Amino acid sequence: MVEYRIDRSSGVPAYVQIVEQTERALRMGTLRVGDKLPTAREVVAATAINPNTVLRAYRDMEQAGLVELRRGLGTFVTRSLARPGAEDDSPLRAELADWTARARAAGLERADILALVTAALDTHDDTKDSRAPGDPERAEEDA
């Protein structure tokens, strides 16, 4: 079950944060087709945001074709964004874990590390946006 964490001081709309985090879970395979998202009620209990805001996020994801809202039942994942290579036990993840451990040991904080990664990505990839991880980036990957 995903657990949303909303940072109200980030300036990023709450519903966008929910979408970002859901997408992230889809990419990682943490969330798979058929899985149920937490109910609006549950999210409200966990995050103290308004149910309407949760529903807004879920509706957006429905329109993007990622989930399906079934009245009375809940919200269910209808599409995967999972990538081979991003599985829990992939070598890439192990190497990454190793690298981040060393980065932290070197005194780098979360924000520093994310800045480094973004910079590394922007080096190879001079296309597109430049923003954050978990960008909605118009969810339209494979299924």
Which residues lie near DNA (CB under 7 A)? 11, 13-16, 37, 39-41, 48-50, 52-53, 55-56, 58-59, 62, 69-75
Q: Does 32 bind a copy of itself (CB under 8 A)?
A: no
d(CA 77, CA 135): 18
For residues 40-99, which are near a copy of itself according to CB under 8 A?
Answer: 50, 60, 63-64, 72, 83-86, 92-93, 95-97, 99
Q: Considering the complex, state which of residue 7 and residue 125 has its C-beta at the smaller distance from DNA.
A: 7
Closest separation between CB of residue 122 and a copy of itself, Å?
9
126 binds, among a copy of itself, DNA, none (CB under 5 to 8 A by kind): none
135 binds, among a copy of itself, DNA, none (CB under 5 to 8 A by kind): a copy of itself
Which residue's entry shows tokens 């192990």?
94
CA distance readout (Å), 13 to 10, 31, 39, 72: 8, 22, 19, 27
Contacts of 48 (CB under 8 A, 6+ apart): none
DSSP 70: E
d(CA 107, CA 142): 38
Among 23, 54, 67, 79, binds a copy of itself (CB under 8 A): 23
- Alpha-carbon torsion, ordered 126, 128, 132, 136, to 10 deg: -150
Closest separation between CB of residue 6 and DNA, Å?
8
Q: Does 33 bind a copy of itself (CB under 8 A)?
A: no
For residues 98-137, which are near a copy of itself according to CB under 8 A?
Answer: 99-104, 106-121, 123-125, 128-137
CA nearest to 73, candidates 34, 123, 31: 34
